[in-house]
Amino acid sequence: RLEIKRDGFIWIQNYSRGKPLAPLKNIGETKKTGTKIRFYPDDKIFSNIEFHFEILSKRLREIAFLNSGLEINLINEKDDKKAKFFYKGGVSSFVEFLSENKTPLHPKPIYIQDLRNNDGAEEFLEIAMQWTDSYNEQILAFTNTINNKDGGTHVVGFKSALTRAINSYIEEHNMQKDLKENLAGEDVREGLIAIINLRIPDPKFSSQTKEKLVSSHVKGWIESVIMEKFKAFLEENPSVARKIIDKMIEAARAREAARKAKEIVRKKGALDSSHLPGKLADCQERASELAELFIVEGDSAGGSAKQARDRRFQAVLPLRGKILNVEKAREDKIISNEEIKNIISALGIGFDKENMDLSKLRYKKIIIMTDADVDGSHIRTLLLTFFYRYMFPLIEKGNLYIAQPPLFRVEKGKQVLYFLNEREMEGFFLKKIKENVEVRTVKGKIYNGDELFYIVQDFLNFKNSLNILQSHGVSLKLINLLLEFGFQEGSYFLNPELLKPLISALNEHFKEVSVIPDPDNGYSILLKEEGTLGNFYLLKQEIIESSEYSRALNLYKKLKDLLTTGFKIGDEYFISLEELSTALLERTKRGYTIQRYKGLGEMNPEQLWETTMDPERRLLLKVTIEDAVEADRIFSVLMGDQVEPRKAFIMENALRVKNLDV
């Protein structure tokens, strides 16, 4: 449905599969202007008609950044989830967004803009860039708001001109005494975050996916703009120029150190695929399309994996301990790390990010196999950081996987079962409640089979939500009062008048209740327990809007009448649903032996093969990148030097945690 407000009138027109159902119709007068388009996805055209708030948010945020001053509001009316995207600073704000978890070398992004007439056609270029203390570059290029993931002529022109401009400035200001030779492009771009936003009519791309711009006239234009305007910026801001050039000189020294380290390592054959690492148990298969490499945590697990594997096509490389965090290290340090050298040598594709030769890859599947515990997760994250920063083409081409070893082994008689985590194992025992159990309430109501199963399942989920809320400083007493009151309006915290009914109810159960301004958003409620040493609690909007509180409230409504009633199984009496649920789960586990694996090394080779390595039965997770900007941000937050962004990330996402291994 199309609705247009223009020239004092409101016009509407309805469509079906792109064809108008009737002519444009005038339905009234208005003083407003604008266009509204409402559509429903057609399942006969689209294979997937589900809207994903996160995916839409990422794309709309991108568009808002690239169009300074444009406001976009995204509203999901199903769950009232909202997001507003408005960035007055445009691409400069985009750069600030990307650098928020890094330390900038200069306070504001450098902004360059040019508008020209090319044979009667208007062309627009804007570039924002900022150097940070990180060791990785991030250049995002867009043509007519389309992200060109593989770059193109605009990126080539930008890179070459940037290097020339810096070297020219160094020469003109006699700064070359600190250098043996001109700076290389990689030195100049170390720690650089840049956005190139190009708008041109009739752009030429290398393919229909528009991932690479090939319009040849763009390169020379961007080169001339950078040489003129970026050099002018350096002349006008000598202190900023000095800071970023000092970093570039340091990067050049590190590059030279890395080159020497590579030479030493190459002489020893450590990076040469013809000299494979001693710890590698290689496979017999020489066709890379059929071969797999398991990168395994520790010598113990490596020993089990070597015995468990099918040596015809499976190779095993054990790692000793945790590898270097490459997010915090320069290339010369990385190349000297023994475990990383072993990985590079085993893969056979070299270590040059610009000229990585995937045709020499020795294994089609590279599988990270670590323990199913916290340490294993940390090692896996360190490995993922290395592959993301230095072997990204392997992720792009779909070569990187994560093994899913079980955490539990359950045995009864000849029956042996494996479970990935505690939640999956508890789910197995929970389903057994359906078998031959009949429960009667004190009022005579009978529950069994599926009905009993769903009641116990809902209660356990309810209890889990309460525990998570309590772990974040909300008292059980307060949670129960909120649930009894049925309070669910997080937006009320923006207006203290709307909170009055809730305040009145809470006043009956707490010594003091007051509304105080919240520095983050609106207002919060401060509560104090009875007694001289009564505890204080702070109820914030984010608690009410958290997924766990919403889940707890929905389950409370379903279970309300059963939570405090009594139950009987035969002559055995249970005073509450909690006591009944605990007893039922204990009954289902009788006769079973439960083993929790502390590590892969605890499994014998046969168990490791059948659960984790056998292609017919194993479960692998393929590592993919859906949003490069978000992936880069997350790696910087979790693995970078900045502590505050990591702390903020943990606090922000604490209530969203679903699987927590303590």
Catalytic pick from 96, 123, 331, 371? 371
Radius of gyration, alpha carbons of the chain: 31
Question: Under a CB-based contact definition with an 8 Å cutoff, are residues 635 and 443 in contact?
Answer: no
| Partner residues linked to 537 by β-bridges | 527
Q: For residues 149 and 209, give the distance between their C-alpha atoms in angstroms, rounded to a whole number.
A: 10
Q: In this structure, what are the phi and psi dihedrals at residue 144, rounded to the nearest 5 degrees?
A: 55, 45
119 is catalytic: no
Q: Which helix (H) or strand (E) holds 379?
A: helix 374-390
Write out the H or E segment, with its range, that includes residue 194.
Answer: strand 192-199
Using an 8 Å Cβ cutoff, are 294 and 367 in contact?
yes
Are the beta carbons of 609 and 403 closer than 8 angstroms? no
Measured distance between the N- and C-terminal CA atoms of the chain, rounded to whole angstroms: 52
Query: How many C-beta atoms surround the C-beta of residue 503 within 10 A?
Result: 15
Which tokens in the block code for residue 531?
A: 């007694």
3-class secondary-structure state, position 367? strand
Helix (H, G, I), strand (E, B) or coil at 84: strand
**What crossing angle do the helices spanning 628-639 and 91-98 adopt, rounded to 10°?**
40
Q: Is 297 a catalytic residue?
A: yes
Rounded to 10 degrees, what is the CA torsion of 21, 22, 23, 26? -120
Range 651-660 contact pairs with CB under 8 angstroms and sequence separation of 24 or more: 654/472, 655/468, 655/469, 655/472, 655/542, 655/543, 655/546, 655/547, 655/548, 656/546, 656/547, 657/468, 659/421, 659/423
Q: Residue 379 and residue 319: Cα distance in Å, rounded?
A: 10
The CA distance from 547 to 526, in Å, is 22
Q: Please give the helix or strand (H or E) that residue 501 lies within, else none.
A: helix 500-507
Cα distance between residue 321 and residue 379, in whole Å: 8
Nearest to 91 by CA among 148, 129, 57, 138: 129
Catalytic residue selected from 373, 529, 545, 627: 373
Question: Is residue 371 flagged as an active site residue?
Answer: yes
The single residue of 96, 123, 126, 297 carrying the catalytic annotation is 297
Continuous segment of H or E residues that includes residue 459: helix 449-470
Choose the catalytic residue: 3, 100, 375, 424. 375
Report d(CA 497, CA 493) in Å as an integer: 9
Counting every residue written for the chain, the total comes to: 662
Please say whether the beta carbons of 154 and 196 come within 8 A.
Answer: yes
Could you tell me the strand order of the sheet in which 512-517 lies? 512-517, 523-528, 536-539
Say how many C-beta atoms besides its own lie within 10 A of residue 317's C-beta: 26
Residue pointed to by tokens 């040598």: 345
As annotated, the active-site residues are 297, 371, 373, 375
